[in-house]
Structure 1
Amino acid sequence: MTKENHSATNLKNLARIILGLFMILAGLGHLSFQREEFQAQVPNWIPMNQDLVVLLSGIVEILLGVTMIFWRKQRIKVGIALAIFYILVFPGNIAQYTEHRNAFRLDTDTKRLARLFFQPVLIIWALWSSGGLKRQTAPERKN
């Protein structure tokens, strides 16, 4: 491995660990100190109790965060799973914007709209830091 490749790998690993820690912290917030604020992101059309949705998504976030950090053998699959999770929760961010819900200091439509543009950043971060953006090619078979 060249020095440049080693530096890139170290940067990806650091980014993956930071994202994992972010997910663990967010999950803990779901279960405790930010529980009510996360409820503001649950769309009204979800046919479940908002608090239950927040608790369940918090558990999923903690699990995804822990696996991003520690399950290195499956890091690409975990990164893809985390990217899918970010896609699945995006309607909650949209609901917070369209329903004008204040939470996380997002108390204007401008702030809530700006936040929507960070979701693609999280998706790319999850895929890039886990190696999920690499083009996966199978070796050619010889007949």
Structure 2
Amino acid sequence: MGTDRSRTDRPRDGLARTIGRVALGGFLAFAGTSHLTFAREEFQAQVPSWVPVDTDLVVVGSGVVEIALGAALVAAPARYRPWVGAAAAAFFVAVFPGNVAQYVEGNDGFGLDTDAKRLARLPFQGALVLWALWSTGAWRAWRSQRVRAVTGSRGVRK
């Protein structure tokens, strides 16, 4: 994920990755905007009861972060996209306890009004992590960096 790669060594964005990255960015920007406006109360249902911060502050803060990540996914130059993808994936991991708390505490929100629906939703967070890593080339950049670390710059195993 380093930024020291030459132009020819940068991962190329295929059309599918570009569409995936822009779509994820749009999704995040929309979700972040909804945190601040029409779905604010729904998002409050996802804040775990054990979080020692005002629920509304958590919702507003996470909304601002989502808008920033969404904009970065759409607009970041290619050489920074792996970093943005890693940050988006980390964000999805960081908010996962809220999804688990919504299930464990039985909080309704976004039509998730049964334990079965709340439980069925949990695996989708992993899909978001994978989507962020794939669409930005973060996974590929991490793997190529590890290969360079093991083999050295000449491709010969150290």
TM-score (norm 1): 0.91
CA distance, structure 2, for counterparts of residue 46 and residue 136 of structure 1: 38
2:152 equivalent among 123, 140, 143: 140
* SS of 2:107 mapped into structure 1: coil
CA displacement, residues 60-100 of structure 1 (integer Å, 9 cap, x when unaligned): 00000000000023100000000000000000000000000
2:119 equivalent among 109, 113, 133: 113
TM-score (norm 2): 0.83
- List alignment gaps of at least 5 residues for structure 2: 1-10
Number of the residue aligned with 1:54:
59
Number of the residue aligned with 1:124:
130
- List alignment gaps of at least 5 residues for structure 1: none
Number of the residue aligned with 1:92:
98
* SS of 1:136 mapped into structure 2: helix
Number of the residue aligned with 1:63:
68
Structure 1 runs, 4 residues or longer, greater than 3 Å off? none
CA displacement, residues 108-136 of structure 1 (integer Å, 9 cap, x when unaligned): 00000000010000000000000011112
Aligned residues, how many? 137
Number of the residue aligned with 2:8:
none
CA distance, structure 1, for counterparts of residue 87 and residue 116 of structure 2: 30
* SS of 1:27 mapped into structure 2: helix
